[in-house]
Structure 1
């Protein structure tokens, strides 16, 4: 039996049976019979053991009032999580704010490394305070910066910028392009 409560394991049983969450027991039974007949392993044309087992499990969950009530609680949470995800992804500036925060984290770690090459790390709490971002929001950004190779954990568990991170920070914060240097007033050969 699948644990429908695990987010990575959650299955939309209503979608699986192609019914509304408001479907009554007669509708659930009718649709189940339709799909059971179609996907039954004995059906030589459309039999599919895996799909059949999913259909049976969905039916068994939704036909039982107690199991369905428990499932519906999880279902509503699942739907709400998806709504929140879509809403956050639709907000203008979401990615831009993330890029700014990632640049801020790199800058903080850059300055710390520059000030003390032998002790360049910043701990979780200090990074949270310096960046102005709560730990639960920092996790994604720290994961990303680590995965890119721009930061790493030191032997004592602190975050520190890497050589690649320094190169990234330098590339991001070069404010005067070389072409502007040549054309600036006062520049002579």
Structure 2
């Protein structure tokens, strides 16, 4: 797990060595286990580890490479979280999966399951994305893995699919009669 040493020491990634030393001394005195009022051994160890890494130019350069990679991943996560299109797409995929499993159960109540590869093919969703949706729908109780290892819709899933269907307003066709 990545630990943000700049955050631990509450300094900028651009902080110079004098700033690092000053901040380290302040936190070391504050969190040292011998300090009766504010001592915290775990926090102290974290501060020492951060300081030892950032004070050494070679270790800091190596750490900064990891830091930039982590910052890039954090930025991607933040951008994706701000993009509501991704969540809307997830709702559509989940509705499609429920619809596929609903129809399969209705067509053959004694053999209601669809295998993972077939679900991937029918839904058009790659396996690595499908895993999230299957996890979510299983946790909600909408689908379950049955004895033969395939996925099938549950009673709760049928109720969910039916409630979604009822929420969608019916499409009204315009009457184009020519007078």
Note if 1:160 corresponds to 2:152.
yes
Distance between the aligned counterparts of 1:92 and 1:148, measured in 2? 22
Name the structure 2 match of 1:113: 105
Q: 1:134 aligns with which of 77, 101, 126?
A: 126
Q: What is the correspondence of 1:37-56 to structure 2 with a 5 Å cutoff?
A: 37-56=29-48
CA RMSD of aligned residues (A): 2.0
Who is 1:187 aligned against?
Answer: none
Q: TM-score, normalised by structure 1?
A: 0.82
Q: Spell out, residue by residue over 1:71-129, the C-alpha distance to the aligned partner (whole angstroms, 9 max, x if none).
A: 22221222111111111111133322211111111001111111112221112221111
1:81 aligns with 2:55: no
Per the TM alignment, residue 176 of structure 1 is displaced from its structure 2 partner at its CA by: 8.6
Question: Would the alpha carbon gap of residues 99 and 176 (structure 1) be closer, same or farther in structure 2, given more than 3 Å must change?
Answer: closer
- Give the total of aligned pairs: 170
1:101 aligns with 2:93: yes
SS across alignment from 1:120: coil
What is the alpha-carbon distance in structure 1 between the residues aligned to residue 104 and residue 64 of structure 2?
50
Q: Partners of 1:72 and 1:134 in 2: how far apart?
A: 34
Aligned partners of 1:69, 1:123: CA distance in 2, in Å? 48
Q: Which moved more, 1:59-68 or 1:110-119?
A: 59-68
Q: Tell me, yes or no, if structure 1 residue 29 matches structure 2 residue 21.
A: yes
Name the TM-score, length of structure 2 as normaliser: 0.86
| 1:148 is aligned to 2:140 | yes
CA-to-partner distance for each residue in 1:42-91, whole Å, 9 max, x for gaps? 22222221211110111122222333233222212221111111111111
| Unaligned ranges ≥5, structure 1 | 1-8, 181-189
Q: Higher mean Cα deviation, 18-27 or 51-60?
A: 18-27
| Structure 2: stretches of 5+ with no match in the other structure | 171-179
What is the Cα deviation at residue 174 of structure 1? 2.7
Partner of 2:117: 125
